[in-house]
Homo-oligomer: A and B are copies of this chain.
Amino acid sequence: MRKYNRVGPNHIAELKAIVGEKNVLTDPDKLITYSQDEVTDARYHHMPEVVVFPETRDQVAEIIRLANRELIPVTPRGAGTGLAAGAAPMYGGIVLSLEKMNKIIEVNAEHMYMVVEPGVRTKDVQQAAAAVGLLYAGDPSSGDNCFIGGNIATNAGGNKAVKYGTTRHQVYAVEIVTPTGEITELGGLLNKSTSGYCLEQLIMGSEGTLGIITKATLKLIPLPPYKMDFLAVFPDTETAIDTVFKLLKAGIDPTSLEYMDNEAVNVCARYLKVGLPHQEDGNYLIITVETSTEEELEDKAARIDEICTAGGAIATLVPDSKTIWAARRAFGDANREESYIHSPEDLVVPVKHLAYAMREITRICKQHEAVGRVVAHAGDGNLHLTIMQGNIPAEEWPTKIDEILHDLFAFVYSIGGRMSGEHGIGSKRVKWMHRFADPVQLKMMQAIKKALDPNLILNPGTVFEVD
């Protein structure tokens, strides 16, 4: 582990000269907000020495050059809605918040793109697109709160990824400040390019370790004119999950294909204080389709009904869209309210192994006497297993959860899966990354990190450690 220098009064003075006095935070009471994201486990909370709020890319670049010169770590931060402690400053130093770089720079309806600063809320991106009759297809569950910059940095997924892909598929270009303080725009307003290495895809999903995103050009697409949600209710996990691949293969091209187990349905209903269909015993598949004609919608509706019924659904219905999606989105908050001690996981597996994976992770949880609840971006093979505290005493939790995670990740990697589908490694999963990632690839990643960030000042301790 590299040694860094502490932030001294001279550095604070210099930071104030760069971003202005009002944009430098040193009050310990206020710094605490910036010591964590949504990860509740205190092992992954770390106090910054100072938080800065640059307002321009040039200020970001100046801060990074200072950090290189003085060997002070810098942790970029969006809205702090992360679930992997990627924004917690593992080595202290400077937290660089992008929250004041929050302008929508251009909405180009004619040519279907949008240029934004990183601190724009994802919901605002979606609404700005919808206002001109277009769709921004990124849709993480935390969309009301998260920032687009964080979405790009973690390659956020969400409820529409099965059709549209994850955030990395919604982006034409990202302007970054490099780890050495240079400014460059990667990618372009282009539908294709083979003119050198695909640096934009390398940066996206690198969790702020290879560059700080200061601007992004997002893809917009025509809003499909017809859209409908369906709810298929299954008596058990097995029949629900067995139906997922049949839906994927039927040419229905679903926009969403979400799974909620019965416990998740009840947890979300309680949290929202609403009644949900077949709440007493139903396991859900929520299926959304978007089409260009009404006939196509009817046709696909009929096929969905047929496939789900043949697959063992006890009911297929058109739910109240607002309620059903509110329930799906409430899962994280509901668990957190119920038990501050919990671990929201983000396993991803080949869809062909989804049913088997569901059985195995349930078995692993039971074996450890832990309570697991599952919602899933089922169409993506992405399982949001949340492990609740249950009867585990708080003091035993760190040991216990690590034992459970070890077994879960060992299983997931054994079937070609990964520990994170869309939340990222952050600092929370670094030790597991070193344990389970392919050693050749880990070495490649570390070599790239060192090549682009020779002083290792950008978000150290996130994704992996480097000597």
Q: Which residues of A contact B (CB under 8 A)?
A: 108, 110-112, 154-157, 161-162, 165-166, 168, 178, 182-186, 188-199, 201-202, 204-207, 210, 222, 224-225, 245, 248-253, 291-293, 295-296, 299-300, 348-352, 377, 379-382, 416-425, 429, 433, 437-438, 440-442, 444-445, 447-448, 450-452, 463-464
Docked complex Cα distance between A18 and B311 (Å)? 53
Report if A197-B189 is in contact (Cβ < 8 Å); known contacts: A111-B351, A178-B444, A222-B249: no
User: Which residues of chain B have C-beta atoms less than 8 A from A168's C-beta?
Assistant: 198
The answer to whether A422 and B192 have CB atoms under 8 Å apart is yes
Closest 9 pairs between A and B when the two form their complex, measured CB to CB: A451-B451, A201-B201, A195-B418, A184-B440, A189-B350, A222-B251, A447-B451, A111-B352, A191-B380
Contact with A300, one of B196, B292, B382, B420 (Cβ below 8 angstroms):
B292
In the complex, which residues of chain B have a beta carbon less than 8 angstroms from the beta carbon of A196? Answer: 425, 433, 437, 441-442, 445, 463-464
Q: Are B249 and A422 closer than 8 Å at their CB atoms?
A: no
Residues of chain B lying within 8 A (CB to CB) of residue A189: 350, 352, 416
Number of copies: 2
**With A195-B433, A197-B463, A420-B194 in contact, is A188–B350 under 8 Å at CB?**
yes
User: Is the CB–CB distance between A420 and B191 below 8 Å?
Assistant: no
What residues of B have a CB within 8 angstroms of the CB of A293 in the complex? 293, 295-296, 299
The reply to whether A440 and B178 contact each other, CB–CB distance below 8 Å, is yes
Q: Are B157 and A199 in contact (CB under 8 A)?
A: no
Q: Does A199 lie within 8 Å of B444, measured CB to CB?
A: yes
Set of chain B residues within 8 Å of A448, measured between Cβ atoms: 197, 448, 451-452
A225 to B299 CA separation, bound complex (whole angstroms): 13
- A202 pairs with B197, CB closer than 8 A: yes
Partner of A190, one of B162, B194, B348: B348
- Asked whether A425 and B111 contact (CB < 8 A) given A251-B224, A444-B178, A451-B450, the answer is no
Would you call A206 and B197 a contact (CB within 8 A)?
Answer: yes
In the complex the two chains form, what is the Cα distance from A448 to B440 in whole Å? 15
Taking CB atoms, residues of chain B closer than 8 Å to A421 are 190, 192-194
Contacts of A249 in B (CB 8 A): 112, 222
A395 to B342, alpha carbons, bound, how many Å? 74
Nearest CB of chain B from residue A224's CB, rounded to whole Å? 7
Q: Which residue of B lies closest to A353 (CB)?
A: B189
Q: From the candidates B204, B250, B292, name the one contacting A296 in the complex (CB within 8 A).
A: B292
Residues of B within 8 A of A416 (CB): 188-190
Q: How far is the CA of A416 from the CA of B187 in the complex (A)?
A: 9
The listed residue (B190, B250, B417, B419) touching A418 by CB distance below 8 A is B190
Chain B residue at minimal CB-CB distance from A250: B222
Task: Give every chain B residue within 8 A of A198 (Cβ-Cβ).
Answer: 155, 168, 201-202, 204-206
| Nearest CB of chain B from residue A105's CB, rounded to whole Å | 15
CB-based contact A191/B418 at 8 Å = no
Docked pose: A379 CA to B162 CA in angstroms:
24
B447 and A182 form a contact (CB under 8 A): no
User: Residues of B contacting A165 with CB < 8 Å?
Assistant: 192
Residue from A162, A192, A352, A416 having most chain B Cβ neighbours under 10 A: A192
Q: Which residues from chain B contact A207 at a C-beta distance below 8 Å?
A: 194
8 contacts between A and B (CB under 8 A): A157-B194, A191-B380, A195-B424, A195-B433, A196-B464, A197-B444, A293-B295, A451-B451
Instruction: Note all chain B residues with C-beta closer than 8 A to A157.
Output: 192, 194
Is the beta-carbon distance between A295 and B292 smaller than 8 angstroms?
Answer: no
Q: Give A350 to B193 CA distance when docked, in angstroms.
A: 11
Give the chain B neighbours of A442 by CB distance below 8 A: 196
Query: Closest CB-CB distance, A405 to chain B, in whole Å?
Result: 14
- If the complex has contacts A296-B292, A299-B292, A452-B444, are A192 and B251 also in contact, measured as CB distance less than 8 A? no
- Do residues B191 and A161 form an inter-chain contact, with CB atoms below 8 A? yes
Can you add 10 more A-B contacts, CB < 8 Å, to A186-B441, A293-B293, A293-B299? A111-B245, A184-B444, A190-B418, A193-B420, A195-B418, A197-B205, A222-B249, A222-B250, A225-B251, A251-B292
Interface contact A437-B202, CB-CB below 8 Å: no
Q: Is the CB of A425 within 8 A of B191?
A: no
When distances are taken between beta carbons in the complex, the residues of chain B under 8 Å from A423 are 194
- Rounded to whole angstroms, the CA-CA distance of A421 and B350 in the bound complex is 31
